[in-house]
Amino acid sequence: MFKNEANQVRAGWMIFLAFVSMFIAQQIFSMPGGILLAIVDFPFVDGNFNMDIIAAFDRHPWIFVLTQGGATVGGMLATILLWRFVNKGTLKELGFRGSLKDLSFGLLLGAVSIAVIFFILLATGNVTMLNSLAKPEFSVYSLSFLVMFILVGFSEEIFFRGYVMSTMESRGNPKWLIYVVSAVVFSLAHGMNPNVSVLGLVNIALVGILFAYMFDATKSLWLPIGYHITWNYFQGNVFGFAVSGLTPHGIYTLSVENGNEWLTGGAFGLEGGLLATLLIILGYFATKVYVNMKAA
């Protein structure tokens, strides 16, 4: 039950152990930010000691980064320590290898993908801009959330691609199963996000498959890390869409109220729309062209 024919602990148990360890580490490392938020906002807004956590974090973006960023750092440390001392692997074997050109291409591809969706929605009247393209409104969120999304990109790719896929591969699992498990676990981890939708979870699973392909095709985490960072950042902090249901703080302010929710994703953000489905699929072909050009 616990071990395979090669007397190795089965991949499912290893992934479960890593997921639980990561979750516990995230809670511990987020505590300083949570305590600081309670102190700074005490006795909260209306004096009745009922805290709206999301609103409180919106008032204190750097405390949000301390809390969420602390959680991601804790998750990364737990994953890396398990990989090093339980899986007996190196950082190189986890996926930190290859050229940093992969990171650059990932950053570019993620940013372009979101920009394409935005301009299609703008051209078709599915979003309304409340400030013009010539007048971006930078704020503390522009920097604080950049820090956060960099940490999120590293943390989630280290676990869902680096740890999950490498652990399954070392146990001899077929490639299709490795892709599917990595993507499904990635999607389910977003299942409790605000305003979650079925299409949103499907798209997160699809982008999980794209990330898995990027990792497999380059044998490196750099490409999916880059794509992950700019996909989130440009979605929420440049163009002002919700990111997997989380509050947007873009340099542009948008309204999607009059748009087609099947295209805009509504309150969940672009990941809940069909245009995201299309761009995720196109991301696969862009990655394939990039990999072939590197090999030529």
Q: What is the mean pLDDT of the chain?
A: 91
C-beta of residue 208 within 8 angstroms of C-beta of residue 244: no
47 CB neighbour count, 10 Å cutoff: 8
Half-sphere exposure of 78 (CA within 13 A, CB side): 25
Cα-based angle 167, 169, 174 (whole degrees, multiple of 5): 135
pLDDT band at 9 (very low <50, low <70, confident <90, very high): confident
Beta-bridge partners for 254: 129
Span 8-22, average pLDDT: 91
C-beta of residue 251 within 8 angstroms of C-beta of residue 96: no
- Confidence check: pLDDT of 45 > 90: no
What is the rounded CA–CA span in Å between residue 257 and residue 244? 17
C-beta of residue 165 within 8 angstroms of C-beta of residue 178: yes
Half-sphere exposure of 219 (CA within 13 A, CB side): 7
Query: Cα 243 vs. chain centroid, distance in angstroms?
Result: 9
Span 62-75, average pLDDT: 94
For residue 296, the model assigns a pLDDT of: 75
pLDDT band at 244 (very low <50, low <70, confident <90, very high): confident
The residues spanned by each domain of the chain are 92-295
What is the rounded CA–CA span in Å between residue 165 and residue 259? 38
Global pTM value: 0.93
pLDDT band at 46 (very low <50, low <70, confident <90, very high): low
HEC secondary structure over the chain: CCECCCCCECHHHHHHHHHHHHHHHHHHHHHHHHHHHHHHHCCCCCCCCCCCHHHHHHHCHHHHHHHHHHHHHHHHHHHHHHHHHCCCCCHHHHCCCCCCHHHHHHHHHHHHHHHHHHHHHHHCCCCEECCCCCCCCCCHHHHHHHHHHHHHHHHHHHHHHHHHHHHHHHCCCCHHHHHHHHHHHHHHCCCCCCCCCHHHHHHHHHHHHHHHHHHHHHCCCHHHHHHHHHHHHHHHHHCCCCECCECCCCCCCEECCCCCHHHHCHHHCHHHCHHHHHHHHHHHHHHHHHHHHHHC
Report pLDDT digits (tens) over 146-170.
999 999 999 999 999 999 999 999 9
Report pLDDT digits (tens) over 168-187.
999 999 999 999 999 999 99
What is the rounded CA–CA span in Å between residue 140 and residue 249? 9
pLDDT band at 51 (very low <50, low <70, confident <90, very high): low
pLDDT band at 246 (very low <50, low <70, confident <90, very high): confident
Residue linked to tokens 């979750």: 23
Length reported for the chain: 296
